[in-house]
């Protein structure tokens, strides 16, 4: 029997509704949640993501400010803008869309964002709190993956979760979240990456398999344990039969024949990432007291 779909679009819509209610409550206290998004350059994928964040902000009542900077902006110029936003009491969340052009040091930029405004949860202070199991801003994509799993009634406790991909944005924070001693985690985690030897031997062991490696249809049916839950974080732009299309890191049509649950692309993890960002902005605004 084919796997049933985990509908990220639907779960994300429910979360946005909850956030909209939180935002209305904050408005009544005189707090007007505001997200500043910085986009450097004109990468088409990044522009699409930034547009989706703006649309979601409007939908839940969060004010959104966009700063579009030229691709050759100096690192110091970007730093100045971040400092200005750090100091602005009307801005609750700051997001610098990644990747940045190669002449800008990503780490310096992330570290310049004030931790209470770091709604991506990438600042080393927040990343450290996440590892320690303390309250923090959870990076939006890993947060979205966990929400999809828990809201679909899928147990992680005692399960073997295999993650493919070791990025700072997805793989590493997911690993750290899933091993926490908490009801929503308690998993045994294997983190595979591009240098893992015999990757299939690992992926076949996963009760839950999470693909975040950035390669179209990397996960094939023979790599999946029958009955596994498969979460596809990939969004790859490919051209097929002369048409541009989006495909995940999972060979969806084949893998759905062996998995029990599977996320589609589009309509899976993507909308969840944006919904969790909205939740993080509401949290930042609530903590700010102004």
Binding site residues, ligand GUN, CB under 6 A: 95-98, 120, 140-141, 169, 273
97 is catalytic: yes
Query: What is the nearest approach in angstroms of ligand GUN to the Cβ of residue 125?
Result: 16
Closest-approach residue to ligand GUN (CB): 98
Sheet with 208-211, strands from edge to edge, namely: 4-5, 261-262, 229-232, 208-211, 160-164, 188-192
Query: What is the nearest approach in angstroms of ligand GUN to the Cβ of residue 242?
Result: 28
Query: What is the nearest approach in angstroms of ligand GUN to the Cβ of residue 95?
Result: 5
Burial class of residue 266 (count of CB atoms within 10 Å of its CB; 0-12, 13-18, 19+) = middle
Is residue 93 classed as helix, strand or coil in its secondary structure?
A: strand
Query: What is the nearest approach in angstroms of ligand GUN to the Cβ of residue 143?
Result: 10
Q: Which residues of 49-81 are buried (b: 16+ CB within 10 A; e: fewer)?
A: bbeebbebbebbbbbbbebebeeebeeeebeeb
CA distances from residue 205 to 21, 163, 186, 188, 222 in whole angstroms, order as listed:
41, 11, 17, 11, 12
Decide: 142 and 122 in contact? Cβ < 8 Å.
no
Marked catalytic residue, from 22, 53, 117, 232: 53
DSSP string, 2-17: PPEE--HHHHHHHHHH
Q: What angle do CA 38, 145, 44 make, to 5 degrees?
A: 35
Report the residue number, 96 or 213, with the smaller CB distance to ligand GUN. 96
Query: What is the nearest approach in angstroms of ligand GUN to the Cβ of residue 265?
Result: 15
Marked catalytic residue, from 117, 118, 120, 279: 120
Q: What are phi and psi of 275, to 5 degrees?
A: -65, -40
Q: Which residues belong to the active site?
A: 53, 97, 120
């Amino acid at each position: 029997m084919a796997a049933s779909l985990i509908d990220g679009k639907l779960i994300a819509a429910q979360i946005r509704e909850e956030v909209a209610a939180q935002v209305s409550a904050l408005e009544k206290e005189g707090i007007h949640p505001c997200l500043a998004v910085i986009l450097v350059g004109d990468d088409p994928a990044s522009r699409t993501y930034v547009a989706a964040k703006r649309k979601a902000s409007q939908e839940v009542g969060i004010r959104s400010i966009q700063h579009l900077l030229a691709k050759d902006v100096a690192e110091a110029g970007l730093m100045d803008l971040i400092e200005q936003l750090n100091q602005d009491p009307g801005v609750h969340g700051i997001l610098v869309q990644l990747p940045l052009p190669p002449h800008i040091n990503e780490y310096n930029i992330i570290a310049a964002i004030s931790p209470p405004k770091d709604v991506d949860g990438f600042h080393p202070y927040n990343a450290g709190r996440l590892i320690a199991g303390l309250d923090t801003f959870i990076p939006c994509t890993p947060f979205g993956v966990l929400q999809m799993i828990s809201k679909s009634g899928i147990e992680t406790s005692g399960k073997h979760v295999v993650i493919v991909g070791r990025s700072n944005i997805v793989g590493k924070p997911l690993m750290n979240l899933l091993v926490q001693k908490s009801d929503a985690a308690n998993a045994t985690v294997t983190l595979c990456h591009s240098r893992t030897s015999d990757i299939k031997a690992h992926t076949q062991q996963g009760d839950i398999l999470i693909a975040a490696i950035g390669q179209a249809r990397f996960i094939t049916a023979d790599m999946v344990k029958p009955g596994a839950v498969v979460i596809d974080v990939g969004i790859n732009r490919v051209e097929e039969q002369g048409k541009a299309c989006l495909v995940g890191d999972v060979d969806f049509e084949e893998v759905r024949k062996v998995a029990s649950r599977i996320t589609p692309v589009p309509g899976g993890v993507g909308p969840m990432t944006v919904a969790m960002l909205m939740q993080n902005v509401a949290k930042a605004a609530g903590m700010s007291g102004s």
